[in-house]
Structure 1
Amino acid sequence: MLDGGTTVIADGLVASGAPEAIAGAVGKGTPVWILSHMALADHPEREAKALAAATGIICPSAHAAAELRTKHGQQDIVIATPGADKADPAKGSQPPHIVAVGALLPNKSQTLLVEALSQIRDEPWTAALIGSNDADPRYAAEVRDAVEHHALQNRISVTGELTGEALEDQWRRADLSVLISRSESYGMAVSESLAHGIPVLVRQGTGAVEALGDTRAGTALELQETGNLTNTLRSWLTDPALQERWRNSALRARDHLQGWDTTAATVLDALQR
C-alpha cells in the first residue's frame, strides 16, 4: 500500500496485452508499474501503448532496459537486478560434471551444447541438461535425439525439471555451468551458479554477460558456430590451472552476491518516489 492506495506491478507480457486496462487504472488513480523482462517480438504497438500509460517501468538488467529503449525510444526505467541466496559451495565431481539449467527451448541452445560435447568425447566428463521437457516438446525431443545420435546417453542426462534436493544434488556435483541462450534478459542460472561457487560459460550479447559481470568466474563466448564452445570446453577440461582460477573466482563472487533484500529495496524506493 502506498499513500492509502494499491500499487500494481504487472508483468510485461500481461501489461502489453492490455494497454487500455493499464491506462484506465492509472487514470483512476492506481499506480501501475510494468516489470519488463525483455522487449516483445510481437505487437510492439501494444507494448508501446502499455509502457506510455504506465506509472513506471522496471527492468531486471541494463541489458533489458537497453533493448526496450532501442525498440521504443527513451524510457525512464528503474533497473532492479535480481538477487541470489548464497548456497553451500559445490563439491564437484570426478570426472568433471557440467550442468545446463533451463527449460529445453530453442533459445536455450541445448542442442549446440550436445554437439560441442560430442567433439570432446576423448576427454572425461559428464553433463546434465536440467529443465522442463514440456515447454516445447518438439525441441525437447530434438535434444534427446541429439544425445542418442552421438551415443552420449551414458554421459549426458536429460533430467527434466528438478526442484528441491534433486536440483541441489546437481549443483553440488557441478564443476561448470553453461548458459548459452541466444537471448537472456539477465540469466538467473548464472546467479544460482555463482551462489554455489560454480563458474559459468555464457553467450556474448545477452543479459547473462551482465549477470556474470567482472567476476572472471568463467567467460562469455561468441557463438556463431560450435567450434568456439568446443574449444573452450576442451581448454577448461584439459587445463587444471584454468579450472582452479575459474573456481576460485566463482567462490569469491559467491561471497559478494547481491541479496534479494537489495532488489526489493530498489523496487520499493522506486514505488515510493
Structure 2
Amino acid sequence: MTAPSAALAVPGDLMTLTGGYIYDRRLLCGLRALGREVAHVALGGSFPDPTPADMAAAAARLAEVPAGCPVIIDGLAMGAMDRAVLTGMAAPIVALVHHPLAHEGSLPADRRDHLYRTERDNLALAAHVLVPSPHTAALLVSDYGVPADRITIARPGTDRPMGRVDKADPPLILSVGIQVPRKGHDVLIRALAQLADRPWQAVIVGSALDAGHAALLSRLVAEAGLAGRVRLAGRVPGAELARLYGQAAVFALATRYEGYGIVFDEAMAHGLPIVTCATGAVPDTVAPGAGLMVPPDDPAAFAGALARVLDEDGTRAAMAAASAAAGAALPGWEDTARVVAGVLDRVAAGA
C-alpha cells in the first residue's frame, strides 16, 4: 500500500450530520479525488471531553504517523488534546478549527476557561491552522494569539441543487441545525408562536444531540399550540433534505453563534431568503441582500423579520434573487480541497 502523503484525524463518526463533520468528510473525499493518499485517523468519540482510554488511543495513533506526513487534526480533538500527545508526534500538525471550543453555548465558566487555555496552548504547536471563515481567522489572531500568516481560510464547498421542486403550500419555513442550545431553535419556535395568525408551516431538521434541549423544543412546540404546524424532523436523509430546501419559501436559523454555517451556503444555493442572527461569522457568510439579521436571543425581532419575508412579496423576491446570485458564485468542494492541498504541500516542504 502506498504510504499516505497526509492524514486527517477526526474524533467520532465521520458520517455525523453536523457542519463540521460534513466539512471533514467532504475534505477527505476531495483530497483523495485530487490523487492524494490521505489516511483517515479515527479518534475516540468522547472528544472534546475525552476519556483516558480515548486520549491514550489518540496518542498511540498520532505517534504512528511518520515525520513527513502532515496531520490535519479536527478542532474537536485538537482543542482538547493533552499537550503531551501533540509534543509526542513526529508528524507536523495542521489544526482545523471550525469554531473555538470555548465559544460553544451554555458552557460553565470553569469549563469554558479550561477549553480556552487548552486550545490556545495547543494551537501554538500547529505548523498551520485551517479555518472556514474570515471571522474565525480574526478570532484566532485576536483572542488565541495565532499569527495571521499561519492561518489559511478554506471556505466550505457547496453542492448545486439537482432539478426543481414545487414550493410548499402553505409557505414552508425551513431550519437546519442540530438540536443544541447554540442553534437557537427555541428562539425560532417562540418567534413562530407570534406569527400564528399567518399561513405557514415549519420543519426543523437536525439530530437531537442534546436530549434535554430536544425535550425543551418539543415542549415549546406543544405549549405554543404549534404541534400541527412545526415538525421537529431530526436527522433526515440527504435526498429528503434537498427536497425540503427546494420546497421552502424561507430559511430561518436563530443561531446564537456560528464559526461559519454551511447551511447558509446551502440555502443560498437554493435561492432562499434567509432570516438569521447577526452573530459570529454569519454576517460574513450570508450575502448582502440575501438575508435579514436580528440580534441573537430576541424572539420578537426574529418574528418581525420573518413577518416581513412572509408578508412582503417584493422583499421576498429581492432577497431570493440576491441569494440565488450569491449561491451561483459559491466555491465547490474541489476548490476547498485545492486550498487545503496547497497548505499540506507547504507544511510538508517546511517539515
TM-score by length of 2: 0.72
Q: Distance in 2 between matches of 1:114 and 1:70?
A: 35
Q: Letter of the aligned partner of 2:84 in structure 1?
A: E
Other-structure match for 1:175: 249
User: Offset at 1:167?
Assistant: 1.6
Equivalence for 2:68: 5
Distance 1:18 1:91 in 2: 51
Residues 164 and 205 (structure 1 numbering): CA distance in 2 closer, same or farther, change over 3 Å?
A: closer
Instruction: Give the distance between the partners of 1:258 and 1:15, measured in 2 at CA.
Output: 27
- Is the 8 Å Cα contact of residues 91 and 174 (structure 1) preserved in structure 2? no
Which of these residues, 90, 108, 115, is aligned with residue 190 of structure 2? 115
Q: Percent identity?
A: 30
Partner of 2:95: 34
> Distance in 1 between the 2:332 and 2:267 partners?
14
| 1:57 Cα offset (Å) | 0.8
Contact 1:91 1:173 in 2 (8 A): yes
Q: Deviations over 1:156-176 (max 9, x none)?
A: 111111112222221121111
Deviation track 1:1-31 (CA, whole Å, cap 9, x = no partner) reads 1799321100122123133222222xx3x22
Following superposition, which runs of at least 4 residues in structure 1 exceed 3 angstroms of deviation? 88-91
Structure possessing the higher relative contact order (Cα contacts under 8 Å, 6 or more residues apart): 1
| 1:255 correspondence with 2:328 | yes
Select which of 256, 260, 265 maps to 1:191.
265
Q: Which residue of 2 aligns with 1:67?
A: 139
Residue type of the partner of 1:62? P
Listed as ranges, the matches of 1:92-111 within 5 Å are 92-111=167-186
Q: Deviations over 1:78-129 (max 9, x none)?
A: 1111110111355422221001101111111111111111111111111001
Aligned counterparts of 1:90 and 1:64: Cα–Cα separation in 2: 35
Give the aligned partner of residue 200 of structure 1.
Answer: 274
The one-letter code matched in structure 1 to 2:69 is: T
The unaligned stretches of length 5 or more in structure 1 are none
- With 217-226 and 253-262 compared, the bigger mean Cα shift is at 217-226
Q: Which residue of 2 aligns with 1:22?
A: 86
Write the distance in 2 (CA, Å) between the matches of 1:248 and 1:213.
11
Q: Which residue of 2 aligns with 1:84?
A: 158
Query: Is the CA contact 1:34–1:58 (under 8 Å) kept in the aligned structure 2?
Result: yes
CA deviation map 1:176-221 (0-9, x unaligned): 111221111100110111122222122112212222133x212222
The farther-off stretch of 59-68 and 147-156 is 59-68
Mapped pair 1:45 → 2:109: no
